[in-house]
Chains A and B, each alone.
Chain A
Amino acid sequence: MMTNTSQDDLNLRSQDAICVNESELARPWYFNLKYALVGVAFGVVFIKAQIVSWFRIQEMFRFESFHMYGIIGSAIAVGALSVFIIKRFNIRTIEGEQVVFHKKEFNKGQIIGGLMFGLGWAITGACPGPLFAQIGYGSTVTIVTLLSAILGTWVYGYIREKLPH
């Protein structure tokens, strides 16, 4: 581990990531179990609405079904409304912290990487979330897909400085 200041560390963690938030509160590890519970609910919805199905993703890209568009569209609508309400009424977290939003900066990666992910999404029929749910569902071979995706992430990190951003 390098000797980073905590601000350096946060800057590094925030690279190419949307979901990094620095809480001022230091909590024991089991405080993370609440996120596991959200994950469980999320995973159940993934399976029950067949979002993790290769067939549903194919139907989406072939414009043969409204199902996935309805799901993504209504999820964004509910998410945006929630964010609006949180901002408008300055709603705080259950621990009383102010909710922080991070501005996303544009870089070329969103285009090149986005296209690459799109190609992979249509092949595997899964984005990263569904990979975990598919393995839970019992598709053990998806472990290979996940390991390969982790390898892809690693290779990106390894050659990151040489790529256009």
Chain B
Amino acid sequence: MMSQPWPWYIAGPLIGLTVPALLLLGNKSFGISSSMRHICAACLPANVPFFNYDWKKELWNLFFVGGIFLGGLLAAQLLAAPTEIVVHEDLRNDLAKAGLNSYSSIMPQELFSWQQLTTLRGWIFIVFGGFLVGFGTRYAGGCTSGHAIMGLSTLQWPSLIATCCFMIGGLVMTHFILPFLLSL
């Protein structure tokens, strides 16, 4: 159990429990992308009104993402699955056409590595993708945790709209743009 990948019906409810855990530990609403805004406010507020607030009052959010980092470290060091990641055959075939054949890590090594930063394809996947995630989540006012999980758990319809848009954006990218990007 500890060294095998966990099934969705174990992982999903555990993630859902984050919602009451944060609420009951200190009245905190579950959300992760805001941490990046607090980092901006702490490091480079630069007279931008959006970043000139007392970020220390949101310090809990930075402790939370620091914990996520540590959890990733612990799981990788102590509980890592020894086997290769198993993916759907069609995906495997499509990725092979783009020259992606490594399944030893959680991400394809041919796309996400320091060497790839010198290629256009690697730059798009590592740098441009990250920019879209940061800009988009803040513009949307939340990410998968804040909108999809916390927002839908509290039955807020703006979060439903945001979640649908996350999915539409992801589907458009995966089916219409990614094949081209992977072929670069």
Residues of chain A having any CB pair with chain B under 8 Å? 1-2, 4, 9, 12-13, 15-23, 29, 31-62, 64-83, 85-86, 91, 93-95, 97, 99-107, 109-129, 131-142, 144-158, 160, 163
A selection of 5 A-B contacts at a CB cut-off of 8 Å is A18-B29, A48-B75, A55-B85, A114-B164, A148-B126
For B128, list chain A residues within 8 Å (CB).
Answer: 123, 148
**Assembled-state Cα–Cα distance A78/B10 (Å):** 11
A123 to chain B, nearest CB (A): 3
- B6–A49 contact, CB under 8 A? yes
Q: Specify the chain A residue showing the minimal Cβ separation from B72.
A: A136
For B81, list chain A residues within 8 Å (CB).
Answer: 48
Interface of B is mostly: helix
- A115–B165 contact, CB under 8 A? yes
Q: Specify the chain A residue showing the minimal Cβ separation from B78.
A: A44
- B147–A18 contact, CB under 8 A? yes
**Assembled-state Cα–Cα distance A140/B112 (Å):** 9
**Assembled-state Cα–Cα distance A52/B6 (Å):** 13
- A129–B32 contact, CB under 8 A? yes
Q: Contact check: which of B27, B90, B111 meets A54 at CB < 8 Å?
A: B111
For B60, list chain A residues within 8 Å (CB).
Answer: 32, 35
Q: Which residues of B, 78-124, contact A by the 8 Å Cβ criterion? A: 79-81, 85, 87-88, 90-91, 103, 105-108, 111-114, 116-117, 124
Over the window 48-76 of chain B, the binary record of Cβ atoms lying under 8 Å from chain A Cβ atoms (1 yes, 0 no) is 11111110011111011111111111111
- A124–B108 contact, CB under 8 A? no
- B71–A144 contact, CB under 8 A? no
- B23–A93 contact, CB under 8 A? yes
Interface of A is mostly: helix
- B136–A123 contact, CB under 8 A? no
- A13–B29 contact, CB under 8 A? no
- B91–A120 contact, CB under 8 A? no
Chain B interface residue number, banded: 35 or more
Between B8, B80, B81, B148, the greatest number of chain A beta carbons within 10 A of the residue's beta carbon is seen for: B8
**Assembled-state Cα–Cα distance A137/B76 (Å):** 5
- A120–B129 contact, CB under 8 A? yes
- B8–A53 contact, CB under 8 A? no
Residues A75 and B133 in contact in the complex (CB < 8 Å), given A118-B167, A127-B144: no
- B28–A19 contact, CB under 8 A? yes
For A137, list chain B residues within 8 Å (CB).
Answer: 72-73, 75-76, 106
- A18–B159 contact, CB under 8 A? yes
A146 to chain B, nearest CB (A): 7
- B50–A157 contact, CB under 8 A? yes
Q: Specify the chain B residue showing the minimal Cβ separation from A38.
A: B21
- B137–A133 contact, CB under 8 A? no
- A16–B162 contact, CB under 8 A? no
Q: Contact check: which of A65, A93, A114 meets B27 at CB < 8 Å?
A: A93
A114 to chain B, nearest CB (A): 3
A97 to chain B, nearest CB (A): 5
Query: A-B pairs with the 3 shortest C-beta distances?
Result: A118-B169, A43-B71, A39-B67
**Assembled-state Cα–Cα distance A119/B124 (Å):** 12
B4 to chain A, nearest CB (A): 8
Q: Specify the chain A residue showing the minimal Cβ separation from B167.
A: A118
Between B105, B155, B158, the greatest number of chain A beta carbons within 10 A of the residue's beta carbon is seen for: B158
